[in-house]
Chain A
Amino acid sequence: MIVLGMMIFIWLLSLWLQPILQPYVEAFLLSLYGDRYETYIPYKMTALHYVVYAMALGFILGLPLEIKYKRAKSKCLKKLKFFDSLESENILFILSLARDQQGYVTPMDIASQSTLTIEKAQNILSKLQKDGFAELSVTEKGDILYYFAGFTEGEE
């Protein structure tokens, strides 16, 4: 994927840069070759040129990057750690808070211990509840708690 991404990036970059740079390159070549310029370099860029050179450069630049990425990912997985596709930091923070509170958490808990506002914490919690990852719980006083299973001892 890195190689393919690099190819597309270079292709787009060359399409954007070519009209800007071409006059300068031509002026340089004209000064270098003089009168021979037209006969020596009868050359025009076509779509094939762009694709082929984007492919070549994509491989040259992308392959070492891809190899490094794959090696690092494999090393991580061997150590039982995941390299990518991670959950959002806010949700992970809410879950860690839930773990500390035996699974029960309120928007106020989150707002008091993080940079999230009460409203934003409330939104995240209600989304998690709607998706089925949390349950609603009500205290005697009528406070609403969000409950995450699996953090209470002896729970099954």
Chain B
Amino acid sequence: MIKFFGRLVILFYVVGFFLILALLPGIFVIDGIYRVLDNTIFLAIFMSLISIGYALFCMEGKRLEKKQMQRTQQAVAMTVANRNHGVVSVASFALESELPLSQCEEILKEMEHRKVLRTSSLLGKMAVYQLDDHVYGQMPYESDDNEEADDEDSEYDDEDSEYDDEDSEYDDEDTEYDDEETQELEQSQRIRKKRIVRAVFITVIGTLIVISEEQILLNVSEYLYAAITALIFLVFIGRYLLSSHRKADQRHSEHDVLRYVMDKEGELNPKEIPYYTHESYQSMEPMIDKWHKRNYCSITHQEDGGIIYLFPNYTDESEVCEYDEEYDPIPEWIDKRSRFLLFCCLAFVFSYVGGYALVHWNSLIFILACTIIGGIYGHFAFTQKPELERMERIALQVATKKGGALAVYELAYNARITMDEAAKVLEKWEQTNIARKVYPEEGVPVYMVSGVVSKEQRLSSEHV
């Protein structure tokens, strides 16, 4: 009995010890919360900063979302028409897309306005639209019965495929390894991001606990200097993130359209764009207008009055570099926005730490910190040399394949840059006599790169 009570007492001690251990952090947490509550005005300033950053990036997000939505709506309307012998109505479109009937009507009217669809019946909600003949003729066969037909075919294919299976086993193993590697890479990146977010979050909370209103009021000017410096850095970083995102997005959009041009052997029918690319009519129109105005492509008219854009000098060798990865602008934009919000947090911390440094330490430390941050920003924002070298290397590779002739769109596609950037590189080459501009019959210039000589030309050269 005594032994039992002895054990019970020990158990109580142990439980009590752990309870005290648990209570201590609890007290610290509550204490911390109350300190943060005391500094609500600073939290309000911080939240305002975050909200402004969030709102700025929201506008860009809305633009991307609108573009993606328009493209999907137009592509779905074209898919429905393709499945239904080139015919689409408000009802059939609504059934397939599950969008509200009134919205479907608006989308089809917009497409009719752009002459992708035409109707011989009366305009309105009961109109039946016919897809442009040229567009419909080019589309791959697609119907609801396809799945059944595919099943039947696959039975015959199964026999043949047994022989191929052995070969494909080796390929499968390779792809499995690749998948595992990419998954591991993604996971490690995700863990890294989480760690960064957690660290910044803890730093902000720590700052909110440590911050003292009295001290700041006593040294207002120092803290104000630090806050202004932090804000200037933040504006620069925000501008850099936004402009780099826009640049990357523009590059990918143009590359997407140029991939379609390559698939269509140098021709571009604007009516087909939403079906084959990730661009909508609205987003693609200014882009192609600009290309035509700057003479990167020429125009030809179809019999029915439709426009086809022609890109010069297309051959099978125009496509040198292959890009497999799928680009999705929304996750990229989310990533940039998250990064900016983290920088907002750091700016808040910096304005306090900077002010503290100005008051308590030597102001030289503050100036040194600002110089280091400015240097890092400058390094990322203005270093373009490796990019230029990459462009020039790819331009030479394409020119070599094409016997020295290089069009702007070929460089833009292979280097995955915008047409304007590609034109700038080639113009620079022209000015430095590395290439000369030649005007073929279509009137769109092609650059002849000097020094690109074939083996036959080398052997047949005359000795002087």
Which residues of A are at the interface with B, using a C-beta cutoff of 8 A?
3, 29, 32, 41, 43, 48-49, 51-53, 55-56, 59, 63, 67, 70-71, 73-75, 77-78, 80-82, 85-87, 91-92, 95-96, 98-99, 103, 128, 131-135, 148-151, 153-156
Contacts and interface: CB of A to CB of B under 8 A. Distances in A.
A75 to B, nearest CB: 8
Given A74-B328, A77-B72, A80-B76, A133 B101 contact: yes
Nearest to A50: B40
Interface string B1-45: 000000000000000000000000001001000100110110110
22 contacts: A3-B54, A29-B30, A32-B30, A41-B34, A48-B40, A52-B44, A59-B47, A70-B334, A74-B68, A82-B97, A82-B98, A87-B100, A98-B91, A99-B95, A131-B102, A133-B91, A134-B91, A135-B126, A149-B121, A150-B84, A150-B89, A156-B120
Interface of A, helix, strand, loop or mixed by DSSP? helix
A102 B54 CA distance: 50
B380 to A, nearest CB: 24
Contacts of B436: none
A27 B99 CA distance: 55
Nearest to B89: A150
A150 B90 contact: yes
Contacts of A73: 65, 330
A34 B215 CA distance: 28
Most-contacted residue by chain A among B30, B40, B120, B341 (CB, 10 A): B40
A132 B50 contact: no
Nearest to B335: A67
Given A67-B334, A80-B79, A133-B101, A96 B95 contact: yes
B103 to A, nearest CB: 7
Nearest to A93: B95
B357 interface: no
B47 A71 contact: no
A68 B399 CA distance: 44
B144 to A, nearest CB: 10
B125 interface: yes
B54 A150 contact: no
Given A41-B34, A86-B98, A150 B125 contact: no
Contacts of A80: 72, 75-76, 79
A55 B51 contact: yes
A41 B24 CA distance: 18
Contact of B99 (A77, A87, A154, A155): A87
Contacts of B30: 29, 32
A155 B40 CA distance: 67
B92 interface: yes
A97 B375 CA distance: 67
A56 B278 contact: no
Given A71-B331, A92-B98, A43 B38 contact: yes
Nearest to B41: A48
A49 B40 contact: yes
A131 B331 contact: no
B128 A150 contact: yes
B109 to A, nearest CB: 13
Nearest to B54: A3
A149 B41 CA distance: 62
Given A59-B47, A95-B91, A149 B69 contact: no
B219 to A, nearest CB: 24
Contacts of B120: 156
Contacts of B76: 80, 82
Nearest to A46: B40
A156 B128 contact: yes
Nearest to A154: B85
A85 B71 CA distance: 16
Given A48-B40, A52-B40, A133-B125, A156 B87 contact: yes
Contacts of B261: none
B130 interface: yes
Given A43-B37, A150-B89, A156 B72 contact: no
B241 interface: no
Nearest to B42: A52
Contacts of A133: 90-91, 101, 125-126
B34 A43 contact: yes
B315 to A, nearest CB: 31
Interface string B38-79: 101101100100110010000001000100110110011001
B452 to A, nearest CB: 39
Contact of B128 (A32, A48, A132, A155): A155
A37 to B, nearest CB: 11
Contacts of A81: 72
B125 to A, nearest CB: 4
Contacts of A32: 27, 30
Shortest Cβ-Cβ A-B pairs, 5 listed: A150-B89, A74-B330, A132-B125, A150-B92, A148-B91
Interface string B381-416: 000000000000000000000000000000000000
B127 A149 contact: yes
A139 B334 CA distance: 57
A77 B47 contact: no
Interface string B99-127: 11111000000000000000111001111
B98 A132 contact: no
A25 to B, nearest CB: 10
